[in-house]
Amino acid sequence: MKKQIAVMAVAALTLSLAACGKQAQQAPADTPATFEDVKGEGVMTHAEYLAAAVEDAVTVETYVQGKQSWWDNKATLYTQDQDGAYFIYDAACSEEDYAKLTPGTKIKVTGYKAEWNGEIEIIDGQIEIESGNYVAPALDATSLLGTDSLADHQNEFVSFTGLTVEDKGDGQAFYYNWDNSGTKGDDLYFDVSTGGKTYSFTVESYLTDQDSSVYKTVEGLKIGDTIDCKGFLYWYEGANPHITEVVVK
């Protein structure tokens, strides 16, 4: 949670330093079926990236799926190729280049593999924009909730269907902040259940802020609602999906 709190402080600076929006920028999955993800010389496959040790230097080619934040010439991104996902944390990126990182944009990232409370990421990275485009379709991960296999899809764009909104506490369907200590504009936390088990989901305010449709939808949820969700499978001491879309059934 310390990292989330720190990022929240950073976002306040983001608003004053950059005109770039914080909205999740997930485009339709319209990538041609003939798409081939050819890696450049010296670039790791996703399997090689996963096999690398923490603190190892890594180089990957991947595609922007969502933009979480930019400030002080550093970008935090959700990215993915056909084999898996890469969370890019605070990589060097000019404001001009950040504006070019639309969903599907191919980038080369050179940095170091890191782990933070279970979240695998690339830190201290450098971003190079390349030619190519790929938007990942949402993987239906509903049946993977509560299984060890869910971790195999960390940071991927996923969907969950037929979930029931549960009581987060004191008859509330959501909290501002994980402990209900916040106010409008902070992260939203809400609980959902399927198959008799309950899971905690998050609307990350720097990915999708209080003006986004998903933020407003979650604020309007009622206990017992049936919903479908999409988002990025972030990890914090276990699955902590950062939800970018909620549809009430």
Token look-up 């407003």 returns: 216
pLDDT at site 21: 38
End-to-end CA distance of the chain: 31
The reply to whether 126 and 148 lie within a common domain is: no
Element (H or E) spanning 105, and its range? strand 105-116
The reply to whether 7 and 128 lie within a common domain is: yes
pLDDT at site 35: 64
CATH at 8: 2.40.50.140
pTM, whole model, 2 decimals?
0.86
The reply to whether 115 and 182 lie within a common domain is: no
pLDDT at site 137: 98
pLDDT at site 38: 80
Distance CA 122, CA 114 (A): 6
Domain boundary among 100, 117, 133: 133
Q: Can you tell me whether residue 109 is helix, strand or coil?
A: strand
The reply to whether 26 and 102 lie within a common domain is: yes
Residues in the chain where the model's pLDDT stays below 50: 1-2, 4-30, 32-33
Domain boundary among 70, 100, 133: 133
pLDDT at site 9: 41
Residue numbers of the domain that contains 119: 2-133
The reply to whether 163 and 221 lie within a common domain is: yes
Other CB atoms within 10 A of residue 179 CB: 10
pLDDT at site 232: 98
The reply to whether 128 and 150 lie within a common domain is: no
Domain boundary among 133, 157, 178: 133
